[in-house]
Amino acid sequence: MDEKEASCCTIDYQHHKEIFESRRQVFLKNPEKAVTTHRAQIRLIQDHYKEARVPGGFTIACDEPVERGGSGKGPAPLRYLVSSVGL
């Protein structure tokens, strides 16, 4: 692995540990704030093509491949599921 690859593929464990600990302290002081809610607004645009708007201003497109009746303009729903498990 060269220097460029190493710099893009490293994890700052100390940084993540500090964030985890600060969140843990907040939750211990106020346990009812430990529950989070994730929301998305889903729109059916055309046939199988859908868009999800999620907090942070992101829009995620989702479609089926042409052979399944979609237009192939975005990843299929299963691709998102598989990716989310990996992430």
Co-location of 52 and 67 in the same domain: yes
Co-location of 21 and 58 in the same domain: no
Model's pTM, two decimal places? 0.59
Q: What is the mean pLDDT of residues 35-49?
A: 88
Q: How confident is the model at residue 21 (pLDDT cuts 50, 70, 90)?
A: very high
Number of domains in the chain: 2
pLDDT of residue 5: 60
Torsion, Cα 48 49 55 57, to 10 degrees, reads 180
Average pLDDT, the chain: 87
Co-location of 45 and 79 in the same domain: yes
Co-location of 22 and 50 in the same domain: no
Co-location of 57 and 78 in the same domain: yes
Co-location of 30 and 55 in the same domain: no
Its domain, for residue 72, covers 41-86
Co-location of 19 and 45 in the same domain: no
How many CB atoms lie under 10 A from the CB of residue 52? 15
Q: What is the mean pLDDT of residues 52-77?
A: 91
